């Protein structure tokens, strides 16, 4: 008899069909998967079948899946916390910073961009660098971007944050240079 834990690790042909329809995949995928992996002719595809066919260690696969699920739960929790604390007008892009720091930075940016009629990016970045150096120690870099951007940089641990607010992207990080 299959226990519920093991039964939950099986995919039925009808579940696979629903997935194919929902995700607009090729219908042939169902039969191909059933032929490729179904070793017990049960109209069910199990994790054991897949691991056996692909010569994978089932314990390793389960451990990897468990790690991925925990990571996904943490990401969702972090996203929910960001929206609740930082506000719905903020879209977080990269989040490698404690919440108290993010909140101070966003609130200062928010205050500056809503109080100013004339947006002066250079003055704003200079001000924010000084604000962050004063509040979080020195060696901060501040970018404000309108439109798309790509970036690569080194930063101190837990000292990088990228977000969108009022049609601008804000990128801040603390660098190793001049670190004290």
Residue 45: beta bridge partners?
A: 11
Token couple for 100: 């108290």
**What gap in Å lies between CA 131 and CA 101, rounded to an integer?**
12
Residue 169: beta bridge partners?
A: 145, 164
pLDDT of residue 1: 39
Per-residue pLDDT tens for 17-27? 887 787 777 77
Write out the CATH class of domain 88-174: alpha beta
Angle at 142 between CA 136 and CA 146, to 5 degrees: 145
* 32, pLDDT greater than 60: yes
Domain ranges of the chain: 4-56, 88-174
**What gap in Å lies between CA 25 and CA 29, rounded to an integer?**
7
* 158, pLDDT greater than 50: yes
* 58, pLDDT greater than 60: yes
Per-residue pLDDT tens for 79-102? 556 667 788 889 999 988 998 999
Pairing of strands 140-145, 44-46: unpaired
Residues 6+ apart with CB under 8 A from 48: 9, 58
Are 172 and 125 in contact, with CB atoms under 8 Å apart?
no
Are 105 and 172 in contact, with CB atoms under 8 Å apart?
yes
DSSP-assigned letter for residue 80: H
Within 13 Å and on the Cβ side, how many CA atoms surround 140? Answer: 25
Kindly report the pTM of this predicted structure: 0.54
Per-residue pLDDT tens for 105-120? 999 999 888 765 677 8
Distances 138 to 94, 112, 130, 171 between C-alpha atoms, Å? 21, 21, 8, 16
């Amino acid at each position: 008899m299959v226990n519920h834990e093991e039964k939950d690790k099986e995919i039925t042909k009808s579940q696979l069909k629903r997935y194919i329809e929902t995700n607009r995949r090729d219908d042939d995928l169902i039969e191909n998967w059933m032929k490729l992996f179904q070793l017990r002719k049960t109209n069910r595809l199990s994790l054991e079948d897949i691991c056996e066919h692909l010569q994978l260690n089932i314990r390793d696969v389960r451990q990897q899946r468990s790690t991925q699920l925990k990571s996904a739960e943490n990401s969702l929790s972090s996203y929910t916390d960001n929206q609740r604390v930082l506000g719905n007008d903020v879209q977080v892009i990269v989040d490698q910073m404690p919440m108290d720091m993010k909140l101070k930075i966003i609130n200062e940016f928010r205050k500056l961009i809503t109080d100013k009629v004339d947006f002066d990016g250079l003055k704003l970045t200079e001000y924010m660098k000084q604000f962050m150096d004063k509040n979080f120690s020195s060696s901060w870099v501040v970018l404000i971007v309108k439109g798309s951007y790509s970036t690569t940089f080194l930063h101190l641990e837990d000292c990088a944050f990228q977000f969108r607010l009022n049609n601008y992207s804000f990128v801040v990080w603390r660098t190793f240079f001049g670190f004290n």
